[in-house]
């Protein structure tokens, strides 16, 4: 029985990378140099995002105006309601920015979902800093949000017993993919799971994900058929 679902946000719940959206609109162009250093493996994502957020120059109202245009997967609210009705724990776990995630979720009536992410702090009229309360010193990706550590905590301390499922699309999900029981994957995460022989199922959107989850709840056949 599925007990807990850990769900990525950028590119998974949100149809775009919200952090990149903020940076491309409100940060100096240096953020792209920092991004390249991260992609080249010179720095971890925690350091990358901390330095990038420091480059933002925008009043909060301007950031809010952008966030209020961000679309989410239209089937995600229905997926969240299915989890709630079935007593399945649904946790949004992101290496993105908590403020952005919470504002977008609240706009869709999903403000009740627990969120683990980097925390944005305003330190002036138009300046910000980022802290990472969900990081871990031994994180293999040096991530701001160590998803594998969160997965282990949920499995060890969660109130529900059963299978832990990860839903995601990118590099920030790689470490957790090797920790959970099963992954619903697309894009870069799908390729990673295939390359590393991790138990996974390809999904396209949250309508598809809900159907897959319902199949798992009704019996073990889906889990038994994964790689």
pLDDT of residue 218: 81
Report the candidate in 163, 196, 197, 195 with the shortest Cα–Cα distance to residue 182.
163
Tell me the mean pLDDT per 10 residues along the chain, length 227. Answer: 90 97 98 96 93 98 98 98 95 97 98 97 96 88 88 76 90 92 96 96 97 85 60
Tell me the C-alpha to C-alpha distance, in Å, between residue 157 and each of 6, 9, 92, 96, 150.
14, 23, 17, 24, 10
pTM of the model: 0.92
> Which two three-digit tokens encode residue 91?
């946790």
Phi, psi dihedral angles at 157 (to 5 degrees): -115, -5
Helix (H, G, I), strand (E, B) or coil at 75: coil
Cα–Cα distance for residue pair 132/130, rounded to 1 Å: 7
pLDDT of residue 158: 63
DSSP code of residue 169: -
Cα–Cα distance for residue pair 162/224, rounded to 1 Å: 15
pLDDT of residue 220: 62
* Alpha-carbon torsion, ordered 205, 133, 96, 148, to 10 deg: -40
pLDDT of residue 117: 97
pLDDT of residue 155: 76
Question: Hey, where are the domains in the chain?
Answer: 2-224
CATH topology of domain 2-224: Rossmann fold (3.40.50)
Cα–Cα distance for residue pair 13/206, rounded to 1 Å: 8
């Amino acid at each position: 029985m599925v007990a807990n679902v850990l769900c990525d946000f950028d590119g998974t719940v949100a149809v775009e990378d919200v952090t990149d959206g903020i940076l491309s609109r409100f940060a100096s162009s240096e953020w792209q140099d920092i991004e390249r250093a991260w992609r080249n493996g010179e720095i971890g994502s925690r350091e990358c995002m901390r330095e990038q957020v420091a480059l933002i120059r925008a009043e909060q109202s301007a950031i809010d105006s952008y966030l209020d245009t961000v679309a989410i997967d239209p089937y995600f609210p229905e997926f969240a309601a299915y989890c709630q009705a079935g007593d399945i724990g649904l946790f949004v776990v992101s290496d993105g920015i908590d403020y952005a995630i919470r504002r977008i979720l609240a706009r869709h009536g999903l403000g009740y979902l627990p969120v683990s992410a980097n925390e944005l702090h305003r330190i002036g009229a138009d300046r910000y800093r980022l802290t990472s309360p969900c990081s871990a010193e031994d994180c293999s990706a040096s991530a701001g949000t160590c998803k594998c550590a969160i997965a282990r905590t949920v499995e060890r301390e969660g109130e529900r017993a059963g299978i832990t499922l990860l839903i995601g699309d990118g590099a920030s999900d790689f470490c957790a993919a090797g920790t959970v029981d099963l992954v619903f994957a697309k894009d870069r995460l799908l390729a990673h799971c295939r390359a590393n022989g991790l138990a996974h199922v390809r999904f396209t959107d949250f309508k598809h994900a809900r159907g897959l989850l319902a199949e798992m709840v009704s019996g073990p056949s889906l889990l038994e058929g994964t790689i």
